[in-house]
Amino acid sequence: MDTLLALGVAVVIAFFFLHRYLRGLKKTEERARAAAEKGKLYSEGPRSQHPHIDTTFCIGCQSCTMVCPEGDVLAMLGGKAVIVNGYKCIGHSLCAEACPVGAITMVMASPSMSADMPQLTPEYETNVQNLFIVGELGGLALIKNAVNQGRECIDTIDQRLNSMGSRPAADVYDVLIVGAGPAGITASLRAIEKNLKYVTVEQDEVGGTVAKYPRQKLVMTSPVEFPMYGKFKKTELSKENLLAFWDKVLHRADFQVRAGEKVDDIKKGSDGIFTVTTSKSQYRTRAVILALGKTGTPRKLGVKGEEMPKVMYRLIEADHYINKKILVVGGGDSAVEAAMGLAHQAGNEVTLSYRQDRFSRIKERNSTRVEECVRSGKLKVLFNSTPLEFREHAVVLEVKGERMEIPNDFVWIFAGGTPPYDFLKKIGVQLGSHDLTVEASKEAREQKAAKKEKEVVKTPEAPVVEAFAEAKLGIAGEDLPKVAYRLDDAQRYEDKDILIIGGGDSAIRAALALGYSGRNRVTLTYRGDHFQRGPTHNRQLVDRLEHEKKVRILRNATVAAITNDSVLVTVAGRPAEIPNDLVFILIDSESEQLFQTPPPAATRTLVRPGSYS
C-alpha cells in the first residue's frame, strides 16, 4: 500500500512538472510564431550575412536564441531553431559559435538582396587596383569590423609602397581617405603610425554615422583597438565615449582631416595615380580608401512644406530642444531612438508617426523601451499614419484614412537614405555578391575570446580589479577620514554600514567583495535607473547581489552630504538619511579610463582576492 501511495505521489509530481514544461514550451512557440508573423511585415529579409540552420542536426538546445544581441532573430518552433526576424541580423555570428553541434553556418543573403554590394578581395580592394572600400559600405555593419578593416587596409598599402621603392612627386599623396567615421579615423591613425603621406576628407562632420546617433546610444559591444592609442578598456561604448575619442584625435597636429568637403569624382590615370576631385579642391594620390558608410543622402518624402527650415533629417543633440511640439516620422531604430531621446527632454510633446500598424524592424531593446515611453505618457505613437503637409506651426497627417492636424514646432524625418552606389558605378567599381562568412566567423571567435578574457571574476571571493583614478564629488563632509577613493582590502571591514558611490566596474566589484565579507551592511548608490556601463557580466553581478540581499542598491540616487555617522542621499527626488560608518567613492573617469594602455610596470597595480588598489 505504501509503495502504491509513493508511486502515486511521484506520478503526480512528475505530471505537474511535465505540464509546466509543456505549457512553457507552448507559450514560447506562440511568441515565436508571433515574432515570425511580425517578421513577415519586413519582406526584404536578411540584408547580408545571416545564419543558416540545418534542422537535421539541430538538437533544440536554444543556445543560439539566447546569445543573439539583436533580440528575436531566432526562435524555437517545433523544438528546432528557426529564423523569424532575419532583417535584424547584422552578422555577429555568435549563434554559429554557440551551437554545440555545428548546425548553424553563416551565409550570404540571396543574390537579389546582395547584388548592390561592392565586389571586394580579402584585402578590401575593389576591381580598380589600389581603390579600397572599408566599413559598412562593404556589407558588415559592426564598428569593430570597420576599425579592423581601416587598420588592415593601410597595412596593405604600406607593404605595396615599400615594395615599390621610390615615391612619386611631392604633390602626390600615398593615400587619400574618404570619410572620417570609425574606419576612416582608424585608417588615418594607422597612416600616421606608418609615416605615410595622407589626407582625409569628410563631407559632414568627424565621427560619421556615430555623430548622428542619439545621446547614450550603445555603439559597440566588444573590445576594439585603435592605432597609437591601444585597446578600449570598456567592452560596451556609447556614442559619447567614441565622440570623446574622436575629439581627442581631432586635436592631434598630425591628423589631417578636411571636413565639409564632398568627393565628386575619382579618376585613375595611365600612370596609376588617382585624381580625386572634391567640392573644394583636387588631389593626386597613389591609393584611395572609401570609408563612406551606407547611409548616403537622406531620403525625402515629397510632402508639401518639406523644404521648411523646421524639417530636419538627423538629430545631433536632443537636449537642445525643450518645451517643443515635435513630430518624428519613421519606424526604424533611428526614428524610435530619436523620438525617445526628444521625449525625455523637459516639456517636449513628441509624436511618432509610422505608416505601418506596428513596429516590425527595430531592435528588441528599442521595442521594449518605446513601449515603456508610451505607457508612461512621454511619447505618443500614431500607427497607420503619413504626413500630408508641413505648416509653420502645425503638421497635417492622414491617420487610418482620416485627416488630423496637430500643433508643431519641429519635424524629424527618418526615412533612410540613398546609398552611394551610383557614385561607385560612376568611378568604375563593380557591384555584386560578397561572401562575408569567413570574416563574420573570425569576428565571433574574437568576441568569444575577449569575453573569456574580460570575465576575470569567477567567484565572489576572488575579484580582480585594476587601479583607477580618484574622482571627487565636491560635497559636504567629503573630507572626513571615513571617506576613501579606493578599497585596499575588503577583508579588514567587519560589521560596518558601508556606502559605495558609483556605477562602474570598480564600484560593482567593491560591492561584491564587501557584500560577501564580514557581515557588512552594504549600500550601492547609482545616479541612473539601470547599470549601463561596463560588460554585461557586471549587470549580472548586480542582479545577483540584490537577489541574495548582500547589497542594497539605490538607483536614481545622489549623495547630498556626509556626516560622522550617516549619509544624506536623495533617491528619486526624495531625501533620506542612512546610518553609515564608511564611504567609498569609486567613480571611474570617463576620459582617462577609456583605454587599456598599461602604465609602466613599477606603477601598475593588479590586486587579488578581496582587495582593490
Task: Determine which helix (DSSP H) or strand (DSSP E) holds 16, and give its type and residue range.
Answer: helix 2-40
How confident is the model at residue 502, as a pLDDT? 83
CA dihedral for 212, 218, 221, 224, sign (positive or negative): positive
How confident is the model at residue 5, as a pLDDT? 74
Nearest CA to 154 out of 38, 291, 266 is that of 291
Does 438 score more than 80 pLDDT?
no
Backbone angles phi, psi at 233, to 5 degrees: -75, -35
Does 243 score more than 90 pLDDT?
no
> Which tens digits make up the pLDDT trace of 176-203?
999 888 888 899 999 999 999 999 998 8
How confident is the model at residue 282, as a pLDDT? 95
> Which tens digits make up the pLDDT trace of 119-174?
888 899 999 999 999 987 776 556 777 888 999 999 999 999 988 876 667 789 99
Mean pLDDT of 232-250: 64
Nearest CA to 483 out of 494, 493, 498 is that of 498
More confidently predicted of 530 and 14: 14
Mean pLDDT, the chain, whole residue set: 76
Mean pLDDT of 310-331: 85
Place of cell 500607427: 383
Burial, 478: exposed, middle or buried (Cβ in 10 Å; 0-12, 13-18, 19+)? middle
CA dihedral for 380, 385, 390, 395, sign (positive or negative): negative
Listed range (74-83, 108-117, 344-353, 478-487) with the worst mean pLDDT: 108-117
Nearest CA to 286 out of 268, 298, 261 is that of 268
CA dihedral for 285, 288, 291, 294, sign (positive or negative): positive
State the Cα torsion 435-439-444-450 to the nearest 10°: -170
Give the global pTM. 0.49
Report, in angstroms and rounded to the nearest whole number, the Rg of the chain calculated over CA atoms. Answer: 28
How confident is the model at residue 215, as a pLDDT? 45
How confident is the model at residue 352, as a pLDDT? 95
Q: In whole angstroms, give the CA distance from residue 464 to residue 107.
A: 39
How confident is the model at residue 392, as a pLDDT? 92
Q: In whole angstroms, give the CA distance from residue 90 to residue 140.
A: 7
More confidently predicted of 66 and 357: 357
**DSSP states along 175-238:** EEEE--SHHHHHHHHHHHHTT--EEEEESS-TTGGGGGSPTT-EEE-S--EETTTEEBS-SSEE
Conformational region of residue 50, where left means phi above 0, alpha means psi within -120 to 50, and beta covers everything else: beta
Instruction: For residue 144, give the amino acid letter.
Output: K
Mean pLDDT of 301-316: 86
Instruction: For residue 479, give the amino acid letter.
Output: D
How confident is the model at residue 31, as a pLDDT? 57
Contact 138, 434 (CB under 8 A): yes
Does 511 score more than 50 pLDDT?
yes
Neighbouring residues of 521: CB distance < 8 A, sequence distance ≥ 6: 496, 497, 498, 552
Q: How far apart are the first and last CA of the chain?
A: 66
Contact 568, 501 (CB under 8 A): no
Domains of the chain by start residue, with CATH: 26-110+435-454 (3.30.70.20), 131-296+419-432 (3.50.50.60), 299-418 (3.50.50.60), 456-607 (3.50.50.60)
How confident is the model at residue 594, as a pLDDT? 44
Q: In whole angstroms, give the CA distance from residue 126 to residue 133.
A: 7
How confident is the model at residue 383, as a pLDDT? 94
Does 584 score more than 60 pLDDT?
yes
146-150 CB contacts, 8 Å cutoff, 24+ apart: 146/181, 146/182, 146/183, 146/186, 146/291, 147/182, 147/183, 147/186, 147/224, 147/225, 147/226, 148/186, 148/224, 149/124, 149/183, 150/182, 150/183, 150/184, 150/185, 150/186, 150/187, 150/190, 150/289, 150/291
> Which tens digits make up the pLDDT trace of 25-45?
566 556 555 554 444 434 344
Contact 311, 298 (CB under 8 A): no
How confident is the model at residue 216, as a pLDDT? 45
Does 387 score more than 80 pLDDT?
yes
Burial, 393: exposed, middle or buried (Cβ in 10 Å; 0-12, 13-18, 19+)? exposed
Q: In whole angstroms, give the CA distance from residue 182 to residue 187.
A: 9
Task: Determine which helix (DSSP H) or strand (DSSP E) holds 120, and give its type and residue range.
Answer: none
